[in-house]
Structure 1
Amino acid sequence: MFRESTYCFVRMLLLSLIVSVAIIGCSDEGGYEGPKKVEATDPSKPITFTDFFPKKGSVRTLIFCEGSNFGTDISKIEVIIGGVPAPVIGSSGTRICAMVPRRSERGDVMVRIMDQSGRLQKEYTFDEKFTLNSALQVNTLTGKIDPQTNSSSIVNGTFEEAEFQNPWWLEFDVDEEGNKIIYCIDEENLAALRKINLTTREVSTVFMKGQAGVHQVKSMLFDTPTRDTLFLVDDNGRGNWNDRHQMPNMFYALRSEGFRKVYPYLYGQCSYSAVSMQDGTIFYNTWETSMVYKARQIYDAPSGMWDGKALFSVKSNSNDHVFMFRHPEDLYVYMTGFNGIYRCAYDREKKELVSSVLHVGDIGGGSGYVDAPGTSARFNRPRQGVFVKNKEYVAQGKEDVYDFYVCDHYNHAIRKITPDGEVSTFAGRGSVGIDGKVEGWIDGDARATARFWDPTGICYDEEEEVFYVADRSNKRIRTISVE
């Protein structure tokens, strides 16, 4: 199948060839001259600007600035669109080509020309502005499937080379060198912990399954106060048993050791998730009765271990895969499970969670796909979610200024839940064919075109305003951003 991502690659390749001919290989009179020598501006002549084109377009549109005496040394040329630096691709001396960057909505086009020593020689802002046609887009970041076997494995390397077995859960981080990192649980039962370096565009393996008794890791989280510890929550296969000290249900790894060594943290029944509050308090949940515990509260002298304190069952003593998420301001803890989103408040004085209340989804736990408010909404196995600050809520002075975005696993979509409980589809389920399928691997407009296949993990880069999605059955990491 000729996919959208292949189309984009071919389109960019053709654009590159066009730019090469238009800028490097053509004289002002229209004849072919071959590659030109890279030169700076002629200081004895004025630098002039006449126009730029096109006047509107999307992100990555090629924009041409015309004039004279620009020089051909692009290291001495800067183009800034809407206050954002634009990659300069080439210059013929009379025409500069740059690529429109993200978040350049302001539209003013400025060009800065430097002399040989790097001093500013000319700065010019065009009277007209560039109109950015922006849209929410889904793209593929990394991961692939062998076309011969229709399979993938754990393969490290560049973004173009890397493969994932079944990416499941994501956590965003910035390391000591300032590199932006995504940690990925590869396979629901943790075949490996993968490291996706967004800065160097490389994928590596932190550790493989089996360390320190690691059995079936279902989720991970950083400790909120310092982010120096990475916790791994384990379904250790022990659902209902009396001796709680047989197997760990939580492990930890340290930043100082590159998260490569894993140590037992808690022993208990099989667990699926945990949250670390700003004050350092940790809560976790178990499979049996979906019980929520406060960690390390009761000291067991015979074993020399700290047990958790049972608080409440998420839903009427029922068993399910429940995943917990801390509100950035510690107002709530959200929990996904029973085909709904549950919410409980955090009492900061007592350092306790208040019993959970269904926020959105079917009261009886029935599955489906419906965008609607509150209990009229329907989900089909919601998994990892992430809170994102809404600037409009901030301007309105609302108490809770965060929306919650969640992977709706079997609905093959990313859903958005407002603080008031309005549910909508944010991305996925686009370009439905005559077969009625909504799953697949298609990049493009987030709602009109894009498809996911079993998305389960999600994280967010607040600075770049980019979502990253673990697209499990597509075996790829996808992005969602305004382009």
Structure 2
Amino acid sequence: MLKEIKKKFSAGFIAILFAIALAATSCSQEGGYQGAKPVIPTDPSKPVTFTDFSPKEGPVRTLVFIEGSNFGTDVSKIEVIIGGVSAPVIGSSGTKICVMAPRRSNRGDVIVRIMDEGGKVVKEHQFEELFTLQSALQVNTLTGKVDPQTNASSIINGSFEEAEFQNPWWLEFDIDEEGNKIIYCIDAENLAALRKINLTAREVSTVFMKGQAGVHQVKSMLFDTPTRDTLFLVDDNGRGNWNDRHQMPNMFYALRNESFRKVYPYLYAQCSYSAVSMNDGAIFYNTWTSSEVYKAKQVWDETAQMWDGKALFSVKANSSDHVFMFRHPEDLYVYMTGFNGVYRCAYDKTTKELVSSVLHVGDIGGGSGYADAPGTSARFNRPRQGVFVKNKEYVAQGKADVYDFYVCDHNNNCIRKVTPDGEVSTFAGRGSVGIDGQVWGWIDGEARETARFREPTGICYDEEEEIFYVADRENKRIRTISVE
């Protein structure tokens, strides 16, 4: 029974329940409240003592209990540091303090400071034993305020605690000129707004709203390679007919030196869903009709007085679907998600053209489902944005391709991992089953045993911090996945 309860509630919610119970105990044992806050300070006429803490090990957000006497019940006068990192103090009964094990507290030393009413430290204690932080793949919520009753949200800027998203769809990671780590987010599948998530300042702002320069229904975005000075926006302009391809842009661009706030037409063509920019400057895009892949600005149309794309191949013959393209970091391949599978095509660096795509993993017929398996035995349900991540084990083994591909499996409510050899596994999500039998929802915790997503569509990766960021579309939040 306890195991099932733990699966249904996040550690944060359990901590809140504990804090309420702890406060109630404090009230009955130590005295009363002034309003909603405990009023019992540490007694200056008595010594502050420390006896033990437990448990001695656990993952991030483990509840750690510190025992002793004369702590007081005002948590603002209690400071706990584990492994050099401040640990959130959940509550105190005067004889027992509850804190939550913080991220990156691997060093393990536990220091407690008790302060008097004036904020002066009256006792500092360091335990001889260490707290051992256990590594575990964890899912957490970064930002996204949602009405708990209606699940409603809007486009609201502000701090991570205040910001709201309509339906975060697509993410791109960036580092600006000042060294701030930034995530650009297409909010809503058809771009209601381009949002800027400043990870350094912990705030969300809006770069621009829909409507600039004829922007219609942006489906994806990408930075140019290798300068990253230009941000391309790929648009489903509603023009599926090749004969009216010159009427509306299918790609726009924005410049870094203008803070990406102004948008300009880049290419006129049929409705498109994605593009890739190769390291040598070549740009490829795809269209709805026959899921055709084109090389940008290759054919001069004398009548229209503009450059058209050069048709290369169809991702899946005589078929149309929402196809999204992703450049391999070493330009070995371009991966494409669509038709409930992941397709792969090689890049010829001599001719600067893509070679016809081949199904890498998924159902040959394009049927949906959910199955972790190799190659064509694997099953997806509307895979969307993906990101390549270097695997250190592949590097040590001397493999030619050292990148795994992580992709949002939209209707399966999880993140999947695809190896270069075509092995598919579930990386995060679907970790617990509700009483209604559903595997989707909003639950933080261990990535495979507890965490849940609801229709994730966007993903990016911070290589330095080794953190994945996920646009959790129907939860209207930005989530993180990292080893903690």
Provide TM-score, normalisation by structure 1: 0.81
| Cα deviation, residue 152, structure 1 | 1.7
Residue in 1 aligned with 2:115? none
Aligned-partner Cα distance in 2 for 1:364–1:336: 14
Question: More displaced, 461-470 or 262-271?
Answer: 461-470
CA contact (8 A) 2:363 2:376 kept: yes
Letter of the aligned partner of 1:456 in structure 2?
T
For residues 158 and 5 of structure 1, do their structure 2 counterparts lie closer, same or farther at Cα, with a shift above 3 Å needed? farther
CA contact (8 A) 2:345 2:356 kept: yes
Aligned positions of 1:172-183 closer than 5 A: 172-183=173-184
Letter of the aligned partner of 1:332 in structure 2?
Y
Residue in 2 aligned with 1:115? none
CA contact (8 A) 1:388 1:403 kept: yes
CA contact (8 A) 1:87 1:98 kept: no
| Cα deviation, residue 87, structure 1 | 2.9
Letter of the aligned partner of 1:371 in structure 2?
D
Letter of the aligned partner of 1:362 in structure 2?
D
For residues 144 and 463 of structure 1, do their structure 2 counterparts lie closer, same or farther at Cα, with a shift above 3 Å needed? same
| Cα deviation, residue 7, structure 1 | 5.5
For residues 440 and 35 of structure 1, do their structure 2 counterparts lie closer, same or farther at Cα, with a shift above 3 Å needed? same
Say how many residue pairs are matched.
450
Residue in 2 aligned with 1:47? none
CA contact (8 A) 2:234 2:272 kept: yes
Residue in 2 aligned with 1:8? 12
Letter of the aligned partner of 2:260 in structure 1?
F
For the pair 1:359 / 2:360, whether they are aligned, the reply is yes
Aligned-partner Cα distance in 2 for 1:322–1:238: 16
Partner SS, residue 242 of structure 2: coil
CA contact (8 A) 1:4 1:443 kept: no
For residues 207 and 33 of structure 1, do their structure 2 counterparts lie closer, same or farther at Cα, with a shift above 3 Å needed? closer
Letter of the aligned partner of 2:451 in structure 1?
A
| Cα deviation, residue 132, structure 1 | 2.1
Residue in 2 aligned with 1:87? 86
Residue in 1 aligned with 2:450? 449
Residue in 1 aligned with 2:426? 425
Ranges in structure 1 where 5+ consecutive residues have no aligned partner: 27-31, 37-49, 67-76, 91-95, 112-124
CA contact (8 A) 2:88 2:102 kept: no
For residues 378 and 97 of structure 1, do their structure 2 counterparts lie closer, same or farther at Cα, with a shift above 3 Å needed? closer
Residue in 2 aligned with 1:415? 416
Aligned-partner Cα distance in 1 for 2:86–2:422: 41
Aligned-partner Cα distance in 1 for 2:98–2:412: 43
Aligned-partner Cα distance in 2 for 1:365–1:257: 42
| Cα deviation, residue 402, structure 1 | 0.9
Aligned positions of 1:124-273 closer than 5 A: 130-273=131-274
For the pair 1:371 / 2:372, whether they are aligned, the reply is yes
For residues 14 and 176 of structure 1, do their structure 2 counterparts lie closer, same or farther at Cα, with a shift above 3 Å needed? farther
| Cα deviation, residue 189, structure 1 | 0.7
Coordinate RMSD, CA, aligned: 4.0
CA contact (8 A) 1:5 1:442 kept: yes
Aligned-partner Cα distance in 2 for 1:334–1:267: 24
| Cα deviation, residue 58, structure 1 | 2.0
Aligned-partner Cα distance in 2 for 1:260–1:5: 41
For residues 180 and 9 of structure 1, do their structure 2 counterparts lie closer, same or farther at Cα, with a shift above 3 Å needed? farther
Aligned-partner Cα distance in 2 for 1:224–1:277: 6
For the pair 1:334 / 2:335, whether they are aligned, the reply is yes
CA contact (8 A) 2:409 2:456 kept: yes
For residues 143 and 57 of structure 1, do their structure 2 counterparts lie closer, same or farther at Cα, with a shift above 3 Å needed? same
CA offsets 1:105-158 (integer angstroms, 9 cap, x no match)? 5x56599xxxxxxxxxxxxx9997643222212121111332454422111112
Aligned-partner Cα distance in 2 for 1:5–1:97: 18
Aligned-partner Cα distance in 2 for 1:179–1:390: 25
CA contact (8 A) 2:294 2:311 kept: yes
For residues 4 and 467 of structure 1, do their structure 2 counterparts lie closer, same or farther at Cα, with a shift above 3 Å needed? farther
Aligned-partner Cα distance in 2 for 1:282–1:15: 55
Partner SS, residue 242 of structure 1: helix
Residue in 2 aligned with 1:399? 400
Aligned-partner Cα distance in 2 for 1:286–1:389: 29
Aligned-partner Cα distance in 2 for 1:344–1:306: 25
Residue in 2 aligned with 1:42? none
| Cα deviation, residue 397, structure 1 | 1.2
Partner SS, residue 458 of structure 1: strand
Partner SS, residue 243 of structure 2: coil
CA contact (8 A) 1:88 1:97 kept: no
Letter of the aligned partner of 1:361 in structure 2?
G
Aligned-partner Cα distance in 2 for 1:298–1:458: 34
Letter of the aligned partner of 2:337 in structure 1?
T
CA contact (8 A) 2:242 2:269 kept: no
| Cα deviation, residue 286, structure 1 | 0.6
Question: More displaced, 454-463 or 238-247?
Answer: 238-247
| Cα deviation, residue 364, structure 1 | 0.7
Aligned-partner Cα distance in 2 for 1:17–1:183: 41
Ranges in structure 2 where 5+ consecutive residues have no aligned partner: 31-37, 43-50, 68-78, 90-96, 112-125
Aligned positions of 1:433-472 closer than 5 A: 433-472=434-473
| Cα deviation, residue 240, structure 1 | 1.4
CA contact (8 A) 2:469 2:479 kept: yes
For residues 299 and 241 of structure 1, do their structure 2 counterparts lie closer, same or farther at Cα, with a shift above 3 Å needed? closer
CA contact (8 A) 1:86 1:98 kept: no
| Cα deviation, residue 300, structure 1 | 2.3
CA contact (8 A) 2:11 2:445 kept: no
Residue in 2 aligned with 1:43? none
| Cα deviation, residue 61, structure 1 | 5.1
| Cα deviation, residue 335, structure 1 | 0.1
CA contact (8 A) 1:252 1:264 kept: yes
Aligned positions of 1:50-65 closer than 5 A: 55-60=56-61
| Cα deviation, residue 188, structure 1 | 0.7
Partner SS, residue 201 of structure 2: coil
| Cα deviation, residue 299, structure 1 | 2.1
CA contact (8 A) 1:79 1:98 kept: no
For residues 8 and 148 of structure 1, do their structure 2 counterparts lie closer, same or farther at Cα, with a shift above 3 Å needed? closer
Provide TM-score, normalisation by structure 2: 0.81
CA contact (8 A) 2:244 2:270 kept: no
For residues 435 and 51 of structure 1, do their structure 2 counterparts lie closer, same or farther at Cα, with a shift above 3 Å needed? closer
Aligned positions of 1:87-126 closer than 5 A: 87=86, 101-103=102-104, 107=107, 109=109
Aligned-partner Cα distance in 2 for 1:127–1:445: 29
CA contact (8 A) 1:86 1:100 kept: no
Partner SS, residue 252 of structure 2: strand
For residues 185 and 266 of structure 1, do their structure 2 counterparts lie closer, same or farther at Cα, with a shift above 3 Å needed? same
| Cα deviation, residue 263, structure 1 | 0.3
